[in-house]
Amino acid sequence: MKEDKVVVEKERLLVLYASQTGNAVDAADRVAREAERGGCPSVAVLSVDSFPPRCLPDESTVIFIVSTTGQGDVPDSMKAFWLFLLQRNLSHQWLEGLRFAVFGLGDSSYQKYNFTAKKLDRRLSDLGAKSIIEKGLGDDQHPSGYEGALDPWLVSLWKMLNQMTPTILPRVSDIQDAHMKKLDRPKFQISYHFVEAKEEFSNTPGLKDFEKMVEGARSMSPAKHLYNDNRPHYFLQMVKNQRLNKGGEDRDVRHFEFIASPSEIRYHAGDILEILPSQNPVAVDSFIHRCNLDPDCYIKVQQNADGKQTPYSQVDGFMNFVRLKTFVALTMDIASASPRRYFFEVMSFYATAEHEKERLQYFASPEGRDDLYQYNQKERRTVLEVLEDFPSVQMPFEWLVQLVPPLKTRAFSISSSPLAHPNQVHLTVSIVSWMSPFKRKREGLCSTWLAGIDPLDSQGVYIPAWINRGTLPSPPPSLPLVLIGPGTGCAPFRAFVQERAVQSLNGPTAPVLFFFGCRNEENDFLYRDFWLSHTHGGGVLSAEKGGGFFVAFSRDQPQKVYVQHKMKQHGGRIWSLLSAGAAIYVAGSSTKMPADVTSMLEDIVSQESGVSKESAARWLKMQERAGRFHIEAWS
């Protein structure tokens, strides 16, 4: 952290956000827009990693917008900030004079719902800061998404600030007055460079050219602050695409294998692979045509001088330009993500048909929030579909660059061990598809794209990927393991078993119990032969090695049987390993499974050790703090 002196306007309103996927950025921008609309003379919006935490006592009013990631973790951008706040030498009066409010973005289907917001709110109070209002908790499971909580929370926030300093901070009447709304200035400006009869790269660019395309486009994306491209990154090629189950089209699970050339893939068992998906070229062309853009012109995207984010470096020269079609394809999610509410507000200023303008204004209002959610998020309408629904709207490209959701990487648990498969990385992926409320088929962008790649005919298909440390640390061979991974949750444990099998060739290894679950044995017993091969002959999961493999087929009998039922049957063996210092690893769907498994573990510890359920829960918490209880869940 730089120690440069920060000059602070004492009465400014500071909005600090910590985002993992971009939602907190959108919410923070909205807070700033409303404050400025209400006449607040000075508003600053910053990511927490660009604000020195030692300067917090110099501020008077700070609004925190923070998301929660993983199992109650702070976003990557907030880690240094949070560690600073946890220092023991900070007194209980350190933040006296600071007023603050915290709004969290989370998902109540996760056990540690909005954990970051709750921890931050409590810590700021411990350090002497005064809370303006009760923390707000946005929930992705709400019928209107996080805005269901953000709307009333902001109304209360502005009212409280008005009562405290009515002459300085936003006027609620102005914020709520629809006639006060005016079109803001876009945050970004675009320079155009037209070149006749010239292509940036050939239609099938080589690896070096493709690397330049990805690097150039992402370097000028408005979502650049969300990228952590300092991680190990690779351009992969698919060498295997195998279907694992026999279910219908709605239940398609694939095993993918990739290699990197010329570099060697370096990762650990338990790591995550993040992939930047390729968008359908037809959709990209349709978007460019709908917006009257020139796909072959070259552009440079730069921050406006009065922008609120860190400016990009400005280096002159044509080499800094990127072809417009390349920029759209690699940075703007035009055909899978739904636009935010502010997108509809800006659209309303460019609608020339009166009925479209009225509908867009209604969607952008608090009164239209629920109807917008039904039309937009619930139906998962894409940017391209929304633009086609309002044909009179022609938005400038500057606004589209700012408001179209960024094309994000998709994260997958790696299902291979580098010891067993050097310079390869394997994934176990459920191909996502579903029917919308209006009976339109929707498909996951990345999984569908991967499923459509033919390894025998994929010359020149390069897959940008980054290795990220997961929440399941690679266990040493001497550590006993209790693994619970139903469905595709088995992916990281395939890597663990592979790794331990290689380690066992060189010395003794600790026992492994693995509890797997699927619907039925015939159709979706993923990696059946692999697991069974390790259950005999002194394998990692064999009884001779003190291990075990237990499968719950939930639909093969009248009553449903899940992994927690199998755990109950073998509670004695689980407790025996836990008593010997075993670590527990859980992976899979974030819906009910983690909570049900945790509850069953509490029952087992209680019954086998003779303590109360409350004591068992406390014991498991201690295991978590000691690094012996890990959960990796996804929605």
Q: Tens digits of per-residue pLDDT, 241-289?
A: 999 998 666 689 999 999 997 778 999 999 999 999 999 999 999 999 9
- Closest to 526 measured CA to CA, from 245, 252, 247, 246: 245
Alpha-carbon span 595 to 434, nearest angstrom: 25
> Binding site annotation covers 23?
yes
What confidence score (pLDDT) does residue 171 get?
Answer: 64
Q: What are phi and psi of 615, to 5 degrees?
A: -65, -40
Residue 44 tokens, joined = 């600053």
Cβ-Cβ contacts under 8 Å for 87 (sequence gap 6 or more)? none
Identify residue 575 by its one-letter amino acid code.
W
67 labelled ligand-binding: yes
Question: Token pair of 456, please?
Answer: 């025998």
Q: Is 308 annotated as a binding residue?
A: no
Alpha-carbon distance of 256 to 461, in angstroms, equals 14
12 is in an annotated binding site: no
pLDDT for the residue numbered 117: 96
446 labelled ligand-binding: yes
In 10 A of CB 398, how many CB atoms?
16
Helix residue ranges, H only, 103-256: 115-126, 147-164, 172-176, 207-219
Is 203 a known ligand-binding residue? no
Is 495 annotated to bind ligand?
no
Q: Is 488 annotated as a binding residue?
A: yes
Q: Model-level pTM?
A: 0.88
Domains identified in the chain and CATH numbers: 13-180 (3.40.50.360), 481-634 (3.40.50.80)
**Is cis: bond before 262, omega within 30 of 0?**
yes
Q: Cα separation of 560 and 486, whole Å?
A: 14
Q: E-strand spans in 94-222?
A: 99-106, 130-131, 136-139, 188-193
Is 106 annotated as ligand-binding? yes
Query: Are 27 and 103 a contacting pair, CB within 8 Å?
Result: yes
The per-residue pLDDT for 157 is: 93
The pLDDT value recorded for residue 166 is 62
Residue 447 labeled ligand binder: yes
The answer on whether 478 is annotated among ligand-binding residues is no
DSSP bridge partners of 548: 513
CA 140 – CA 128 distance, rounded (Å)? 31
69 is in an annotated binding site: yes
Distance CA 44, CA 28 (A): 10
Residue (of 387, 353, 348, 383) closest to 368 by Cα position? 348
Cβ-based neighbours of 432, under 8 Å, separated by 6 or more: 443, 444, 447, 448
335 phi, psi to nearest 5 deg? -130, 15
412 membership: H or E segment, kind and range: strand 410-413
Tell whether 204 is in a known binding site: no
pLDDT recorded at residue 314: 39
Query: Is 329 annotated as belonging to a binding site?
Result: no
From CA 69, how far away is CA 593, in angstroms rounded? 18
Task: For residue 411, say whether it is annotated as part of any ligand binding site.
Answer: yes
Is 140 annotated to bind a ligand? Reply is: yes
pLDDT tens by residue, 508-565: 999 999 999 999 999 999 999 999 999 998 999 999 999 999 999 999 899 999 999 9
Q: How far apart are CA 101 and CA 121, in angstroms?
A: 8
Is 19 annotated as a binding-site member?
yes
Residue 61 assigned to a binding site = no
20 known ligand binder: yes
Strand partners, 630: 585
607 annotated binding-site participant: no
Contact (Cβ atoms closer than 8 angstroms) between residue 380 and residue 231: no
**108 marked among binding-site residues:** yes
Environment class of 59 (CB within 10 Å of its CB; exposed 0-12, middle 13-18, buried 19+): buried
Is 373 among the annotated ligand-binding positions?
A: no
Q: What are phi and psi of 106, to 5 degrees?
A: -155, -170
CA distance 253 to 11: 55
Q: Is 634 annotated as a binding residue?
A: yes
Residue numbers in the chain where pLDDT is lower than 50 = 1-9, 197-202, 307-318
410 is in an annotated binding site: yes
CA dist., res. 135 & res. 157, Å (int): 10
Collect all residues with Cβ–Cβ distance below 8 Å to 352 and sequence separation of at least 6. Answer: 392, 393
> How far is Cα 37 from Cα 170, in angstroms, rounded to an integer?
8
> Annotation-wise, does 445 bind a ligand?
yes
Distance of CA 568 to the CA centre of its chain: 33
167 has binding-site annotation: no
Q: What is the pLDDT of residue 310?
A: 39
Is residue 554 part of an annotated ligand binding site?
yes
Is 413 assigned to a binding site?
yes
Residue 564, annotated as binding a ligand: yes
